[in-house]
Amino acid sequence: MHNRGLIILALSALACIVCFMTLGLRGNLAFVLELRLVRLAALVEVGIAIAISTVVFQTVTANRILTPSIMGIDALYVFGQILLVFLFGGLAYATLDARLKFFGEIVLLMTMACGLILPMLRARWDTGLMLLCGVVVGVLFRSLHSLLARLIDPNDYAVVQTGSFVNFNDVETDLVLIASLLTAAALAGIWRARHILDIVALGRDAAIGLGIEWRKTQIACLLLVCALVAVSTTLVGPVAFLGLLLVALSERIVKTRRHAVLIPATALVSIIVLVGGQTLFQHGLGNSSTLGVVIEFAGGVVFLILLWRGSRT
Amino acid sequence: MIRIEQVSLQYGAAEILKNVSLTIPKGGVTALIGPNGAGKSSLLSLISRLQSLQAGSITIDDLPVDTTPSREMAKKIAILRQDNQVGSRLTVKELVGFGRFPHNRGHVTQADADMVGEALKLFDLTDLAGRFLETLSGGQRQRALVAMAFCQDTDYLLLDEPLNNLDMYFSRELMRLLRWIADERGKTIVTVLHDINYGGGFSDRIIAMKHGQVVADGPPRELVTTETLRLIYGFDIPVTLIDGQPVALPFTK
């Protein structure tokens, strides 16, 4: 780790975590700490999942503007949720084994997202077209979602409602452990492949020339991205621009696209933004606004800037 | 040896390559010439497995290009494409270093560093080593890309119009380097050229393509003649011998 930016990021992230755990401690210490620890784990994991999935997605699609959520992958996931309720009813949905449901959803998401995005990559669409398609896909699934929401019983709808909006205050903690394992495994896999990802970033022809099995790598990366998106969406709900914000910010800080540096940097930035931001809102601003809204606003601005810059070059 | 047998390629109704058969033995510089749209780049893409074969077969040292693992092929053959757009933000040194990837899988050894240093020196890039690619001129970037292909240190090196964007000085330097790599390092070089006189000056063999077929094939002295060039390009080009080297002069009105 010869990058100074990386060291500063690591220290800042650590400071954020310490503040999150210790600020305003009151009452039964053991209880409060345990509660905070679980929430900390969830936030860190969501941050890492979003950050890493965005980095990999951008590398494999060869551009800086698209992220899994802009391509509508999490809209697809949320739609899958309500489809389940529609088909089996709210009671069955609520009583379904959470872990079993979680895995089922991941597998479903992987197949659907690959079926959707791989043909676009094969046809080598440009960014504009992919973006347009992503927006259309996102709108389609969101519309289908609201259609189903109108069709089902209001009580059933209440069951899925919590999963449909981003919420960093109320993280689904019962899946934290299993999601952690999944994220850690994905992270380990991506870390091992960091050099391969550098080559993938050169583009298809150069990568094949250097001995990458392009198709296999592309599919493997997309599957991984889907799994990570499912993890983060399950825990906090769909976030549109967070990934974009995290990656753009990290790239500015470490000034490289080499994955050996960018991956840890993005993970650290995500911890700073989520854990630090959450601490700030809870203790500094007295929960007067929500972190999700602010992040999405900032992320949206970054998205517009990137689009504007890209259109000029 | 590169062995191409009855290779055809179609995009929809358009026939790009029609039943092409060729063998390119080990060693030497082979120039591939022909008018635009003759299928030269497609042939290189097929040999270097960037495109999948539709009909026919291609083997390199008896390894079929379509079924041999990509990783293994990357140690046999390197390709420089015509439209090399590098997506990520890289320095010249990083890019050239990527040429070592098939050998080191990202774990750089001293031998790799030496090879990169040599390539930078050979291609006159030492002063540019720390510069980012997007800050380079077209010609400088082209040199960096050729240096990367060189670093891959493969027996076969395919280049698609490597002289693109290069000025007269660097065009000659690059051709001399290719000649040197072939002669001193025993590599096999196949390059698409548009200026037939570079082919005449630096190659051992010229293969001419037109409408997806090989129409002429031979050493420069036999091939660079007014008659053959008329067959390839469809107009009369005067050819003179200068110091025993045939020179085509398509510059008269």
Question: Do B98 and A202 make contact, defined as CB atoms within 8 angstroms?
Answer: yes
Q: Which pLDDT does position B5 carry in this prediction? A: 93
CA A11 to chain centre: 23
The domain ranges of chain A are 2-312
Please give the Cα distance from B102 to A199 (Å, whole number): 10
- Contact A141/A75 with Cβ under 8 angstroms? yes
- Contact B90/B142 with Cβ under 8 angstroms? no
Question: Do B106 and A208 make contact, defined as CB atoms within 8 angstroms?
Answer: no
Q: Which pLDDT does position A169 carry in this prediction? A: 65
Helix (H, G, I), strand (E, B) or coil at B10: strand
Per-residue DSSP letters for B178-220?
HHHHHHHH--EEEEE-S-HHHHHHH-SEEEEEETTEEEEEE-H
Question: Do A211 and B49 make contact, defined as CB atoms within 8 angstroms?
Answer: no
Chain A residue with CA closest to B77: the answer is A209
Here the ipTM equals 0.88
Least confident interval from A26-40, A260-274, A295-309, B49-63: A295-309
As a whole-number percent, the residues of chain A with pLDDT over 70 amount to 93
- As given in the structure block, the two tokens for residue B99 are 């040429």
Q: Which pLDDT does position A63 carry in this prediction? A: 78
Q: Which pLDDT does position B87 carry in this prediction? A: 63
- Contact A239/A232 with Cβ under 8 angstroms? yes
Q: Which pLDDT does position A167 carry in this prediction? A: 65
Helix and strand totals (H; E) in chain B: 10, 12
Section B92-102 average pLDDT: 93
Question: Do A257 and B106 make contact, defined as CB atoms within 8 angstroms?
Answer: no
Please give the Cα distance from A216 to A211 (Å, whole number): 12
Please give the Cα distance from A268 to A266 (Å, whole number): 5
Q: Which residues contact A9 (CB under 8 A, 6 or more apart)?
A: A250, A253, A254, A264, A265, A268, A269, A272
Which positions 40-79 of A are in contact with B (Cβ < 8 Å)?
62-63
Q: Which pLDDT does position A156 carry in this prediction? A: 79
Q: Which pLDDT does position A310 carry in this prediction? A: 65
B81 interaction partners in chain A (CB closer than 8 Å)? 205-206, 209
Q: Which of A203, A212, A257 sits opposite B89 (nearest CB)?
A: A257
B73 interaction partners in chain A (CB closer than 8 Å)? 211
Section B18-22 average pLDDT: 93
At the top level of CATH, the class of A2-312 is mainly alpha
As a whole-number percent, the residues of chain A with pLDDT over 90 amount to 17
Query: What's the pLDDT tens digit per position in B167-182?
Result: 999 899 999 999 999 9
**pLDDT greater at residue A30 or residue B226:** B226
Q: What is the mean pLDDT of chain A?
A: 83
Q: Which pLDDT does position B49 carry in this prediction? A: 92
- As given in the structure block, the two tokens for residue A2 are 């010869």
Section A219-228 average pLDDT: 87
Question: Do A203 and B99 make contact, defined as CB atoms within 8 angstroms?
Answer: no
Q: How confident is the model at residue A313 (pLDDT cuts 50, 70, 90)?
A: very low
Chain A residue with CA closest to B145: the answer is A206
User: Based on the number of CB atoms within 10 Å of its own CB, is A95 exposed (0-12), middle (13-18) or buried (19 or more)?
Assistant: exposed
Asked if pLDDT for residue B198 goes beyond 90, the answer is: yes
Asked if pLDDT for residue B82 goes beyond 90, the answer is: no
Beta strand B239-242 with B245-248: parallel, antiparallel or unpaired?
antiparallel
- Count Cα neighbours of A137 within 13 Å in the Cβ-side half-sphere: 23
Question: Do B71 and A209 make contact, defined as CB atoms within 8 angstroms?
Answer: no
A212 interaction partners in chain B (CB closer than 8 Å)? 70-71
B interface mutation test: which of A121, A199, A205, A216 has the most B CBs within 10 A?
A205
Asked if pLDDT for residue A289 goes beyond 70, the answer is: no
Helix (H, G, I), strand (E, B) or coil at A286: coil
Section A277-283 average pLDDT: 83
Q: Which of B194, B187, B189 is nearest to B205 (CA)?
A: B189
B99 interaction partners in chain A (CB closer than 8 Å)? 210
Query: What's the pLDDT tens digit per position in B143-159?
Result: 899 999 999 999 999 99
Q: Chain B contact for A220, CB < 8 A? A: no
Chain A residue with CA closest to B66: the answer is A213
Query: What's the pLDDT tens digit per position in A160-173?
Result: 776 566 666 666 66
Section B132-142 average pLDDT: 86
Q: How confident is the model at residue B248 (pLDDT cuts 50, 70, 90)?
A: very high
Q: Give the closest-approach CA distance of A76 to chain B in angstroms.
A: 29
- As given in the structure block, the two tokens for residue A57 are 């997605």
Helices (H), chain A: 4-22, 29-61, 73-88, 90-95, 98-122, 127-151, 154-164, 176-192, 194-200, 204-209, 214-236, 242-254, 259-271, 277-279, 291-312
- Integer CA distances (angstroms), A267 to A243, A274, B38, in order: 10, 11, 50
Least confident interval from A274-278, B16-20, B224-228: A274-278
Section B210-237 average pLDDT: 92
Q: Which pLDDT does position B250 carry in this prediction? A: 87
Section A263-276 average pLDDT: 92
Section B118-122 average pLDDT: 93
Q: How confident is the model at residue B48 (pLDDT cuts 50, 70, 90)?
A: very high
Q: Which pLDDT does position B88 carry in this prediction? A: 66
Section B36-63 average pLDDT: 92
Query: What's the pLDDT tens digit per position in A187-206?
Result: 999 999 999 999 998 888 88
Query: What's the pLDDT tens digit per position in A103-154?
Result: 887 888 888 888 888 888 777 777 778 888 888 888 898 899 888 888 888 8
Per-residue DSSP letters for A45-84?
HHHHHHHHHHHHHHHHHT-SS--TTTTTHHHHHHHHHHHH
Please give the Cα distance from B147 to B64 (Å, whole number): 26
Q: Tell me the residue type at B238.
A: P
- Contact A5/A253 with Cβ under 8 angstroms? yes
As a whole-number percent, the residues of chain B with pLDDT over 90 amount to 73
Query: What's the pLDDT tens digit per position in A203-218?
Result: 888 899 999 998 889 8
